[in-house]
Structure 1
Amino acid sequence: MNSMEWDSIRIFLAVAEHGSMSAAAQVVGMSQPTVSRQILALEERTGLHLFERSTSGLKLTPVGRQLLESAKDTALGAERFSRQVNGSSIEESGNVRLAVSELFGFHFLPDALAAFHRMHPLINVELIVSNEKVNLNKRDADISICQQKPEQPDLVVTYLMSRSLGFFAHESYIDDVGYPKTPDDIYRAPHSVIGFDNSNMYINEAEKSGRNLTKNQFTFRTDSYQMQLNLIQAQAGVAVTIAEVAKKTAGLIEMFEDIPLPNIAWWLVCHRDVQVNPRIHHLMVFLREWFQKQDEKL
């Protein structure tokens, strides 16, 4: 397969999955006219009509749908080849891409990475700091640190650490609106609650303790722990957040310490095809041992 054929398959997949030339162009990193020309060239070369054009977008024709699964298999094979090539590298210098969420990256990771660099100065760490999920199958990253434990059989998953949650507010906020007598009071005026947007974790845990909450009871909604922490600091309201981080933040006080809340766990993940790569292996082992020692200090 030459590079032109592989580009055509990549573009065909992107258009099929996103339904427009412009969206596909963003995914494959090309201009919209280039994507359009590639699709037209593919149809001319194969003699097949692959897409139906309409005002609502592009849809696969019956023959296009037949080719879609083969194109997906080809893409998966290319991704597997890339992972295995990178995973088989014996170089102990070079880059490792590590994906972490905002709060973990800001508050727990810097000291660990500084120590790792002192031990492995020839390994460079590229950080992806985002609350969006990364696809390790597609090599979005070499290693991911995530809160939800992945279940895919082709991933190597290791427990990293856990931290407790707590109710927190700024002392000036409490001085202004008063100390709530019970957790239920924070959902009534004059209090404001900082909660999650897409995540239902807080609501689901509240249901286990007999409290029926809805997102409409949250004055501010964000899935970013870091943004929640910033809102607490700005005296915007009360939030359930990671206790260790909040206790290190000036002006924040913990409430209802006698009420049990779940711990938040993080998992260290890589694809099994790359775990033997020395650079990736060194960082995986170091992070696991580093955070194990941090847990032992608590």
Structure 2
Amino acid sequence: MSNAPKTPDWNHIRAFLATAETGSLSAAARQLGLTQPTLSRQVAALEEDLGILLFERVGRTLELTSAGVELLDHTKQMGEAANLFALTASGQSQSIEGEVRITASDMMSAYILPQFLRELEDTAPNLKIDVIAANDIRDLLRREADIAIRHVRPEQPDLIAKLVVEANASLYAADSYLQRYGTPTTREDLKDHRFISYGDTAVMLQYLKDLDIHITDDNFHIGSENGLVAWQYALEGFGLSIMDDLVAQRLPFMRRLVTQEELLKYPVWLATHQELHTSRRIRLVFDMLSDYLKRTYRGNP
């Protein structure tokens, strides 16, 4: 007789995911169109199948156990896949229409999102997408955008936020710059080089100091608050620039500096409002965008 663990029922997994996302059995039951006792039994059945405790009650709220936290990310991926499968199988994705507004940094909007928009157009050709390329944080709760791509976790409690992936960035310079000023091989060498500023140099100086790069305001000779403009100055050889590896490594004349091991890591978050649970178009874009960013940053386009 096989001792393999029992395969959990998808309905039970879905009940766990809804409860984890909403933080309560009653809200999860409303989301799934179930009675609270039914949903509670499904969560309990999943715990029994897995042999672990997924939630613990703290006051009037439910909190994930360490085992629940560990399973949540995998469950979210299953939920995304199931949603996309259901839409594709039924042909509903072709009929989804309306506008979805995505806000992201100007660099993300220009360099990372185009391929995603092609995939989305193939899946849901009737959707209209408005990309708001802005480096400031737009307010999702006031509906300035429907979905935000951010590099810090959104703090508003009414938003749904998901850490999608950890991205890498490094220090780069154009061949033309290196031919003129030489190639720095240590962090100490960087004191003698020119840097591109992305807006507030005081903020950049502190950020670089935290990375053990000690330069001064005198190292910044040119810059722009517009990320695309600042990056173009780096391409033209005006100075050194920190850039997402995914963007910079597309260009053979941009060289990663110092050492290969000294990469910077930063998070990529997706955030949206509660309408994710009721709007097919927002759910579709959110799930497809999450999948696309994971594939792209992990080298599996």
Q: Same fold (TM over 0.5)?
A: yes
* Aligned equivalent of 1:144, options 129, 144, 148: 148
Q: Is the 8 A contact 1:147 1:265 kept in 2?
A: yes
User: 1:179, 1:93 → 2: CA distance?
Assistant: 52
1:167 corresponds in structure 2 to 171
Matches within 5 A, 1:5-84: none
Deviation at 1:274, TM superposition (A): 4.7
Pick which of 220-229 and 108-117 moved more: 220-229
Deviation at 1:295, TM superposition (A): 3.4
| SS of equivalent residue, structure 1 residue 240 | strand
1:203 is the counterpart of 2:219: no
Deviation at 1:131, TM superposition (A): 1.7
What is the CA deviation profile of residues 177-203 of structure 1, one whole-angstrom value per residue up to 9, with x for unaligned ones? 222242332332xx3111333376643
User: 1:183, 1:212 → 2: CA distance?
Assistant: 8
| SS of equivalent residue, structure 2 residue 117 | helix
| SS of equivalent residue, structure 2 residue 152 | coil
Q: Which amino acid aligns with 1:155?
A: L
Percent identical? 21
Matched pairs, number: 206
What is the CA deviation profile of residues 65-101 of structure 1, one whole-angstrom value per residue up to 9, with x for unaligned ones? xxxxxxxxxxxxxxxxxxxxxxxxxx93211111121
User: 1:254, 1:210 → 2: CA distance?
Assistant: 17
Matches within 5 A, 1:286-297: 286-297=288-299
| SS of equivalent residue, structure 1 residue 219 | strand
TM-score (structure 2 length as normaliser): 0.62
Deviation at 1:107, TM superposition (A): 0.9
* Aligned equivalent of 2:184, options 180, 184, 209: 180
1:220 corresponds in structure 2 to 222
| SS of equivalent residue, structure 1 residue 249 | coil
TM-score (structure 1 length as normaliser): 0.62
Q: Which amino acid aligns with 1:123?
A: L
| SS of equivalent residue, structure 2 residue 242 | strand
User: 1:158, 1:213 → 2: CA distance?
Assistant: 35
1:101 corresponds in structure 2 to 105
CA root-mean-square deviation: 2.3
For structure 1, the residue ranges without an aligned partner over 5 or more in a row are 1-90
Deviation at 1:277, TM superposition (A): 0.8
Q: Which amino acid aligns with 1:285?
A: D
| SS of equivalent residue, structure 1 residue 268 | strand
Of structures 1 and 2, the larger Rg is shown by 1
Q: Is the 8 A contact 1:187 1:193 kept in 2?
A: no
Distance 1:201 1:268, change over 3 A: farther
2:60 corresponds in structure 1 to none
* Aligned equivalent of 1:128, options 119, 126, 132: 132
Deviation at 1:209, TM superposition (A): 4.6
Distance 1:216 1:150, change over 3 A: farther
User: 1:236, 1:168 → 2: CA distance?
Assistant: 11
* Aligned equivalent of 2:96, options 83, 92, 106: 92
Q: Is the 8 A contact 2:166 2:268 kept in 1?
A: yes
2:253 corresponds in structure 1 to 251
User: 1:248, 1:279 → 2: CA distance?
Assistant: 32
Q: Is the 8 A contact 1:186 1:193 kept in 2?
A: no
| SS of equivalent residue, structure 1 residue 227 | helix
| SS of equivalent residue, structure 2 residue 115 | helix
Deviation at 1:233, TM superposition (A): 1.0
User: 2:176, 2:110 → 1: CA distance?
Assistant: 25
For structure 2, the residue ranges without an aligned partner over 5 or more in a row are 1-94
Deviation at 1:215, TM superposition (A): 4.0
| SS of equivalent residue, structure 1 residue 95 | strand
